[in-house]
Chain A
Amino acid sequence: MADSAAEARIDQALVVRARLGDDPRAFEQLVRRHQGMVRAQLRHMLHGDHAAADDLAQESFLLAWRKLDQFRGDARFSTWLYRIAYTCFLQACRKKSLPLDRDDDTTKLLPAPAHALDLQVDMERAMRRLSGPEQTVLLHCVQLGLSHEEAAYVLTMPLGTVKTHATRGKAKLKAWLAAWHDVDEEQTP
């Protein structure tokens, strides 16, 4: 928590330097500090399409540079960047008619892993069976480590909706991976 606050203060100082001094080197440091997570966020949302994710990440950072005056410091700089990246992702989906969300009914038709060989593989398959909003909320809340409030800000969703998607997503994963839990219990003396 203290580390997170210190990181936020460093980001804030770099933003002030970049904004007031028009200092591209300060912004370069911000890019270096956050590119890894923003690219990971976009790669995850684009289901591993690295080239498209990097294009969107570049677009997001250029947009952040142009809109730096609009960063008020209400949210952490990283959260603000995630929001810009998510907005770019949504715009790209609309332009290219990419599948933004998957219907629950169709995902239920996907075959469940009958003979699971590996928990990690099963986990990946289970994640893909979740609805789009559930995947997105779990990505932001659990994997990127945002609070529910921050995820609501990034995804422009009501807080209650974020919490609902997180709870439902985890409950579905638990149900689909229940066989692993049973195996663990059988193996435990």
Chain B
Amino acid sequence: MNQSQDEAIEALLREQFEGPVFDDGFSDRVVQQLPPRRHRAVWPLWAGVLAGAGASWLGLLSAPLLHAGWQEWISGKPSASAIILVSAIAGMSLLACWWTTMEAEDH
């Protein structure tokens, strides 16, 4: 199909289309039906964060890994527990950075 035939068919199609519908009170009816918008509550997120942090702290309190890792890192001995500790902190920081960046882009 050449360009002029293509344009002729498109012109016919546009002619056939009746165009936008006149607002015969439709908008008013829609606005009357609008429910109040529900906002997502923020407190469950923060409650979850605090509960998770508390549980992690309690769980690690009795484990020697955290304490040993910290002591060895301070004394300049890169033991396995120190490397795990630093890797975990670095990983969580990167995840937090990525999440913050994505949220900033969305807004």
Contacts and interface: CB of A to CB of B under 8 A. Distances in A.
Interface stretch (B4-12, B47-55, B87-95): B4-12
B14 A143 contact: yes
Contacts, number: 88
A143 B38 CA distance: 36
B17 A143 contact: yes
A61 interface: yes
A177 B35 CA distance: 49
B19 interface: yes
Interface of A: 22, 24, 27-28, 31-32, 35-37, 39-40, 43-44, 54, 57-58, 61-62, 65-66, 68, 72, 119-120, 123-124, 127, 138-139, 142-144, 167, 170-171, 173-174, 177, 181
A72 B35 CA distance: 22
Contact of A57 (B9, B10, B26, B34): B26
Given A28-B27, A58-B33, A44 B1 contact: no
B30 A36 contact: no
A170 B8 CA distance: 10
Contacts of A123: 12-13, 15-16
In this complex, the interface size class of chain B, counting residues with CB under 8 Å from chain A, is: 20 to 34
21 contacts: A24-B31, A31-B30, A32-B27, A35-B21, A35-B23, A36-B19, A39-B21, A40-B17, A58-B30, A62-B30, A62-B33, A66-B35, A120-B15, A123-B15, A124-B16, A127-B16, A142-B10, A170-B1, A170-B6, A174-B9, A177-B12
Given A31-B31, A58-B29, A72-B106, A65 B37 contact: yes
A32 B23 contact: yes
B37 A28 contact: no
